[in-house]
């Protein structure tokens, strides 16, 4: 009997769904509905299991954690991000790691454009003012005819391009792996990072967080942007040096920011970024539509089934191939 554990279904996502039902057809399943308080508690939860399904990015699967779980053979991550996992340790220990790339791409792309529109049209501010009995009038930003710079052209970035073009925006892009074929497929033009920052009215980040991309966006990058430009981050907080972002917003070096990800979550009450009037924030929920959640959960379970039963994992979902 295969033994499968979900150590971090908090807030609840998998429990009570058809993904859980399918998982129980594969093996014995244990689901924890509370966050582990310590690393030791996390190890205790998973060290007797063959497979771990990782739901939440707050769960740090470090070398010490993975090394303390000699029975663990497969780590199935719900979502595309792997920055909470020591992938080198997993490789050394022979643990197979899979994720669910693209499962929430449409949802995150829609949210990216939604919070951009909320920022450009001052929706949160106007809503508060009207509810309080006021009737403010003022200029807003029209996106049609503006230039969007997309940094990272994976599944989410491609969907953002599609929606932005539908709004009548011109789209420029930068990626680690540009090619004429990728440019033609998305109907965009690849440019240098400097040209993208200087030309764009909106800069939208869609990179994965890794050692290569941590702190990717620095003070010098804000200095290149137009003072009327917006920045949108629905990827990972660690891509931007948040202190520099705060300074750029406070000094109006750039016009505004729309953000769904933060270095500490949940944000504490009165966090400095929330005191700025030119910021729109949401609680890291860009991919939390029912369709995207279920799609991703089923992909995570399918990866478990492929590993334990079929032995044929979809190559697009394979992050590390282990040998345990």
User: How close are the terminal C-alpha atoms of the chain, in Å?
Assistant: 17
Annotated active-site residue in 284, 305, 321, 324: 284
Q: What pLDDT does 324 receive? A: 87
pLDDT digits (tens, 9 = 90+) for 216-233: 999 999 999 999 999 999
The active-site residue out of 73, 206, 236, 244 is 236
Per-residue pLDDT, 252? 95
Q: Within 13 A of 224's CA, how many CA atoms are on the CB side?
A: 17
Mean pLDDT of 268-277: 94
Active site residue 265: yes
Mean pLDDT of 295-309: 97
With a cut of 90, say whether residue 51 has pLDDT above it: yes
In this predicted structure, what is the pLDDT of residue 139?
Answer: 87
Domains of the chain, earliest start first: 3-103+289-320 (3.40.50.720), 105-281 (3.40.50.720)
Instruction: State the average pLDDT for the chain.
Output: 96
pLDDT score of 129? 96
User: Model confidence at 171, in pLDDT bands (50, 70, 90)?
Assistant: very high
Q: Given a cut of 90, is residue 238 above it in pLDDT?
A: yes
Residue 311: pLDDT band (50, 70, 90) is confident
Q: Is 206 a known active-site residue?
A: no
- 236 tagged catalytic: yes
pTM as predicted: 0.90
> What does the pLDDT look like over 154-164, one tens digit per residue?
999 999 999 99
Active-site residue, selected from the candidate residues 41, 88, 265, 291: 265
pLDDT band of residue 253 (cuts 50, 70, 90) is very high
């Amino acid at each position: 009997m295969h033994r499968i554990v979900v150590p971090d279904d908090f807030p609840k996502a998998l429990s009570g769904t058809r993904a859980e039902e399918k998982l129980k057809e594969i093996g014995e399943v244990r689901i924890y509905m509370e966050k582990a308080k310590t690393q030791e508690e996390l190890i205790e939860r998973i060290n007797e299991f063959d497979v771990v399904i990782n739901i939440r990015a707050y769960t740090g699967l470090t070398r010490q954690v993975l090394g303390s779980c000699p029975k663990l053979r497969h780590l199935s991550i719900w979502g595309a991000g792997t920055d909470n996992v020591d992938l080198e340790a997993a490789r050394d220990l022979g643990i197979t790691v899979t994720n669910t790339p693209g499962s929430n791409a449409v949802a995150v792309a829609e949210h990216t454009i939604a919070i951009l529109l909320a920022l450009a049209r001052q929706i949160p501010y106007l809503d508060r003012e009207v509810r309080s009995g006021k009737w403010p009038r003022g200029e807003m930003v029209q996106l049609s005819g503006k230039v969007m710079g997309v940094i990272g052209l994976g599944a989410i970035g491609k969907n953002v391009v599609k929606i932005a073009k539908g709004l009548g925006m011109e789209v420029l892009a930068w990626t680690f792996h540009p090619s004429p074929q990728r440019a033609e497929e998305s109907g965009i033009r690849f440019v240098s990072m400097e040209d993208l920052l200087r030309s764009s009215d909106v800069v939208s980040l869609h990179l994965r967080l890794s050692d290569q991309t941590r702190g990717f966006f620095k003070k010098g990058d804000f200095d290149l942007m137009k003072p009327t430009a917006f920045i949108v981050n629905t990827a990972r907080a660690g891509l931007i040096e948040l202190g520099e972002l705060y300074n750029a917003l406070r000094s109006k070096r750039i016009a505004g920011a729309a953000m769904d990800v933060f270095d500490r979550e949940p944000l504490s009450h009165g966090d400095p970024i929330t005191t700025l009037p030119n910021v729109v924030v949401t609680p890291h929920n860009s991919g939390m539509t029912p369709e995207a959640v279920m799609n991703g959960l089923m992909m995570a379970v399918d990866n478990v089934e492929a590993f334990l039963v079929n032995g044929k994992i979809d190559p697009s979902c394979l992050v590390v191939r282990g040998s345990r």
